[in-house]
Amino acid sequence: MFEHVSQGQRRNVLRDWLVRGAVAAVFILFGAEKFPSGPGSEWVGMFRQIGLGQWFRYFTGVVEILGGVLVLIPWTVTAGLALLACTMLGAAVILALILHSPFSAVFPGAFLVGLVAVWFSRRD
């Protein structure tokens, strides 16, 4: 349940916390960016183009913040990484297929690959 490093386990706990902290910080910041509704907000315009309504922008922000928090809690890291990976997969698909911007889909795709790499590095 709690983070425990056995003798056979070579995982560096400090490195693990730093990577998880970086992932959490990035997604908590990205999620928080989605809440302001100012007239110049690029997120308002992007989610308007998606066509699901502004509730989807708020939902996406909550999911990203929740995923970032789950990555910080040792026994929920896998759930947080999975939630964030699904979010990045959805973002890549929406950018490529709905917004017709396949080159922009590279960024969430790169985050997806990074999240999967973090998950693989944590496996026993």
Report CA torsion sign: 68, 72, 73, 75: positive
Instruction: State pLDDT tens for residues 77-88.
Output: 999 999 999 999
The pLDDT tens digits for 11-58 are 688 888 899 999 999 999 999 999 988 777 888 888 888 888 889 999
Q: Which of 90, 82, 109, 103 is nearest to 50 (CA)?
A: 90
As a dihedral over the C-alpha atoms of residue 96, residue 46, residue 78, residue 70, rounded to 10 degrees, the angle is: 180
> Where along the chain do its domains lie?
24-122
